[in-house]
Structure 1
Amino acid sequence: MNSPDASHSDEFPYDDVVSALPHAFGEPGARGVLRARFEDFVVDEQLPVEPDGSGEHVLLQVRKTGLNTQDVVQRLSRFSGVRQRDIGFAGQKDRNAVTTQWFSLLLINQVEPDWSGLDSDAMQVLQAHRHGRKLKRGALRANRFQLMVRDFDGDPEDIAERIDAMRRIGMPNYFGAQRFGRRGSNLYGALRMFTSGKRPRQRNRAGMMLSAARSLLFNQVLAERVRLGNWATAIAGDYMALDGSRSGFVCESPDAEIAQRLAAFDIHPSGPLYGDGPLKTQGEALALETRVLADWPEWRTGLENARASADRRALRARVADLEWALDGGSLRLSFELPRGSFATALVRELLA
């Protein structure tokens, strides 16, 4: 899939940049309906620390249904009088789900309101604790998922084999369709920003576009590794990401120790979150990434000119506590994913 020029952007299928990505375990044959109801997609954030019990901030655990994260921020701001910029959260959560999420509010020398006044069918405050720091983006240990796939039609043995494979080696850490906006709107916006040189006035909107552009390029590199069958193994020159960390190292030559650490999910091969900075890979891995990214000149130049910071992301995600069951005509799934990984990336390995 090649990069579009501004003159022929209408030919590029921004509306759906995920469905054509290759599958790690072969094309799935099963079918079903996900998100027929809000309660079919349940997400619970797992914080890496416990609340301090004292401090200038209040940590709220909120369960929301049919609301996105920004909807909750607005409700919290109106109810408490805290400015939206003084409300923190660790990650964005979908509207079409039941999600349990943490928020921090800066409340200095203020009496806490009665948080039960926020309770409604769409939102409930489950816990409130004093805390010493604002909750920052990415400050998550993991997300826990419980999914219901209705009208399931597939071979249980095939599902069992795919589940077993993901337990053993993980899943491709693709960015899901949510990252790219409704019908690819974040990508259309990014291309307009790159070609015009003008950023949207809303800083948050520009950030979403840049994030979508980086995610698009990452998915292309991962897709090539999936095609080659080495997305979960190391090749010469790979930048290996330490599990649960932003640190890593260059693997000059894969050996038995590297294979052992991969099998233990201690390290993962990584791919580029493209931006203004080096790719960090060497040798074979650098040649592969350079070849794939050569097809996307406008996107690379746009990200460089926007001074997006270059970073790395693991090519695979560990799927913890993965369980499944058939319940009448439905498939139930439960599992835990690292922060930033998409449950829909797991589901696409099971369902067509």
Structure 2
Amino acid sequence: MRESPYPLERELGMQFYATDTPGTGGTLRTVPDDFIVDEIPLEKKGSPSGPYLICRLTKTSWELQHAVKEIAKRLNISHRRIGWAGTKDRNARTTQLISIYKVTPEQVAALHLRDITLEVLGQANEQLSLGDLTGNRFDIWIRDADPEDLDNRVVSVTEAAAIALPNYFGLQRFGVIRPLTHRIGEYILRGEYEQAVATYVGQAFPLENEVARRARTVYWDTRDPAAALSDLPVAMSFERSMLSYLQAHPGDYPGALRQLPPKLLSMFVSAFQSYLFNYALSHRLAAGHSLTGAVPGDRLIFANGRTDTATAASSAAISLHLARGRCSIALFMPGRDAAGAPAGDEATQAMLADLGINQDHFRRASEFVQTKFDGAWRPIALRTPVETVVKDRDLRLRFTLPPGHYATTVCREYMKADPVRMI
């Protein structure tokens, strides 16, 4: 095990690597085609007359929320009528299914957007919802890697990936250019809606362009919607919608937040839950516990969702189950309901106590966002066979992951590079 030296990763709870091997270095996403994602859909029966049109969406260098909003705009419908099974990377070429409520194939065929294609596949009686997928296939190139002992470095991590890597939520879960979604989620949980708006609209980051940074800083310093709107680029449509609302409804910060698409708004609170998981996983690793060795009291999650608790008496059987991939050690991400929650991971509970956040805050956020923020178990280990090709100083990785697992978590283990080189 090796500690990450990068402040951003440590801030997001990603404090360790599974392997001690020096990283390959290199850069991800030199061009979008260096990061290809193909969604593996669930097998669902279609309907020849269902109200939802199922389409295959292929996009390049589009953030999903913005792509959906633009598609809805061109179709002259609400973006709330479009559903999807999983979010995908922006700086990539991605393929996934979306559902569109009450539009015709002819309307979709007439749609033309740069770097977006839509192929009608059929119809269904239900919309696609988050999680309605089997997984994702990845085909990734890491460019300009360190050539020193590159083959052996790759082999070492590939062997580890087949056994267990820390199943961290990746950087894109928190925002690639602006890693702050978990902080906005924290403010929503606290009911600090003005600070949530100020952070989303006004907090600037070094990797943004100068125009965006300047416009954000105006709002951060003045809290004046009109002054910020005059400088905000047209492309920053979500921020403009929020500030336009505040111009018309001064001081209504909850209303301003509700100008965001519901799924985007819900992602803030779930990002905070993800941050808690990363933090608890790193705390566990810092305490000397492994990803594959259960200790009495650990919770185990099986492929069918069933959970069990490790005991000293069951240690031999548990070790066998873990080795064969039948189950994984899991940590609990707190939410609004106590049902199924453990007595409490000490690191998570201590953090929540320090922040003054409890189940009532999650319940209030659920009502505000109109999304259930239930607690959930998540495996602490990611395992996948990785097919690798080393070509001069470039490294190709091909692998498949279940829903909710992050390809960048695999890539960071190989690269051990500044996260800025993975965005």
**Equivalent pair of 1:232/1:269 in contact (CA under 8 Å):** yes
Q: 2:41 aligns with which of 44, 47, 51?
A: 47
Q: Distance in 2 between matches of 1:291 and 1:15?
A: 18
Q: Does 1:290 align with 2:346?
A: yes
Q: 2:131 aligns with which of 109, 115, 138?
A: 138
> Who is 1:349 aligned against?
413
> Who is 2:218 aligned against?
none
Write out per-residue CA displacement over residues 208-240 of structure 1, whole angstroms, 9 at most, x where no aligned residue: 221121111100111123332422232212221
- Counterparts of 1:89-100 in structure 2, within 5 Å, are 89-100=84-95
- Aligned residue for 1:231, secondary structure, equals coil
- Distance change (3 Å), C-alpha of 1:15 and 1:163: closer
Q: Distance in 1 between matches of 2:132 and 2:272?
A: 23
Q: Distance in 1 between matches of 2:264 and 2:159?
A: 39
User: Amino acid of the residue matched to residue 293 of structure 1?
Assistant: Q
Alpha-carbon offset, residue 90 of structure 1:
0.6
Q: Does 1:306 align with 2:381?
A: no
Larger Rg: 2
Q: Distance in 1 between matches of 2:172 and 2:264?
A: 15
> Who is 1:9 aligned against?
none
- Distance change (3 Å), C-alpha of 1:74 and 1:190: closer
Q: Distance in 1 between matches of 2:334 and 2:22?
A: 30
**Equivalent pair of 1:217/1:293 in contact (CA under 8 Å):** no
- Counterparts of 1:1-352 in structure 2, within 5 Å, are 17-18=11-12, 21-26=15-20, 28-54=22-48, 55-107=50-102, 111-113=104-106, 115-154=108-147, 155-167=150-162, 169-181=163-175, 182-198=177-193, 200-201=257-258, 202=260, 203-227=262-286, 228-243=288-303, 245-253=304-312, 254-278=314-338, 280=340, 289-299=345-355, 301=357, 304-307=360-363, 308-319=373-384, 321-352=385-416
- Distance change (3 Å), C-alpha of 1:277 and 1:236: farther
> Structure 1-normalised TM-score?
0.84
> Who is 1:4 aligned against?
none
Of 73-82 and 121-130, deviating more is 73-82
User: Amino acid of the residue matched to residue 274 of structure 2?
Assistant: S
> What is the RMSD computed on CA atoms of the aligned residues?
2.6
Write out per-residue CA displacement over residues 229-285 of structure 1, whole angstroms, 9 at most, x where no aligned residue: 422232212221122x44322233443322222122221111121223348576xxx
Q: Distance in 2 between matches of 1:53 and 1:206?
A: 31
Alpha-carbon offset, residue 92 of structure 1:
1.3
Q: Distance in 2 between matches of 1:74 and 1:279?
A: 36
Of 300-309 and 212-221, deviating more is 300-309
- Aligned residue for 2:136, secondary structure, equals strand
Alpha-carbon offset, residue 34 of structure 1:
0.4
**Equivalent pair of 2:161/2:382 in contact (CA under 8 Å):** no
Count of residues paired in the alignment? 331
- Aligned residue for 2:413, secondary structure, equals coil
Unmatched runs of 5 consecutive residues or more in structure 2: 1-6, 194-253, 364-372, 417-423
- Distance change (3 Å), C-alpha of 1:304 and 1:332: farther
Q: Distance in 1 between matches of 2:84 and 2:59?
A: 14
**Equivalent pair of 2:185/2:270 in contact (CA under 8 Å):** no
Alpha-carbon offset, residue 295 of structure 1:
3.7
Q: Distance in 1 between matches of 2:32 and 2:168?
A: 23
Of 259-268 and 297-306, deviating more is 297-306
Q: Distance in 1 between matches of 2:191 and 2:93?
A: 39
Of 70-79 and 334-343, deviating more is 70-79
- Aligned residue for 1:184, secondary structure, equals coil
> Structure 2-normalised TM-score?
0.71
More helix by percentage: 2
Write out per-residue CA displacement over residues 257-316 of structure 1, whole angstroms, 9 at most, x where no aligned residue: 22222122221111121223348576xxx57x2145314424461664132421111111
- Distance change (3 Å), C-alpha of 1:339 and 1:15: closer
Q: Distance in 2 between matches of 1:300 and 1:163?
A: 41
Unmatched runs of 5 consecutive residues or more in structure 1: 1-12
Indicate the percent of aligned positions where both proteins have the same amino acid: 26
